Chain A
Amino acid sequence: AQKITQTQPGMFVQEKEAVTLDCTYDTSDPSYGLFWYKQPSSGEMIFLIYQGSYDQQNATEGRYSLNFQKARKSANLVISASQLGDSAMYFCAMRRDSYSGGGADGLTFGKGTHLIIQP
């Protein structure tokens, strides 16, 4: 079984500062993917970034980067130069990669971190 733990229920950060959102995971699958999603107050889940378990380099997408430490089973999201529009819930998720066999299945989500950017 897979498990995602996000230990920060809420965070307050000053605008333009960098912020790190923590995520640890547990799985016995040999191959897996890690995802971060943003959920604004409207409710829609917005995909931010993906890291494959066999990727040698940390993923980056614009202001988002994923600090992947496989031995520690952590996949922290780093947002550089935070903006007021970054205020939202952030969810870490993982899924068993289809290379492990069995095809596509669902994501396992953490409980999220509520990030508030202050001016």
Chain B
Amino acid sequence: DGGITQSPKYLFRKEGQNVTLSCEQNLNHDAMYWYRQDPGQGLRLIYYSQIVNDFQKGDIAEGYSVSREKKESFPLTVTSAQKNPTAFYLCASSIGTSGGLGETQYFGPGTRLLVL
């Protein structure tokens, strides 16, 4: 079955620790995205990548880093510089640049990050 997987489902971070959230897709999509959702809020864009080895900052990139070494994978690292990391993190992918409906983003199940 094609889809997007995220792991772990729950992640606990200690003060000063970097943690990495995994996102993998087997949809052969070119573009991938990371969003953050706080309680009672919509999603906000952290980073996105249109192709391998290239990525751009979204609206709230400070304190986060990403890599895109493979088309299928787009891991997100929450660094110690992110002072309020407790949130629900969602990864998404889209075909990419075909325009219109082809740019529909499909989401993974998400990772809940909690700070100890």
Contacts and interface: CB of A to CB of B under 8 A. Distances in A.
Q: Which of B40, B50, B92, B99 has the most CB of A within 10 A?
A: B99
Contacts of A95: 103
A35 B108 CA distance: 17
A112 B37 CA distance: 11
B97 A98 contact: yes
A98 B103 contact: yes
A35 B102 CA distance: 12
Interface residues on A, range: 20 to 34
B42 A91 contact: yes
Interface in B67-103: 88, 90, 92, 94, 96-101, 103
A106 B35 contact: yes
Interface of B: 30-31, 33, 35, 40-45, 48, 50, 56, 58-59, 88, 90, 92, 94, 96-101, 103-110, 112
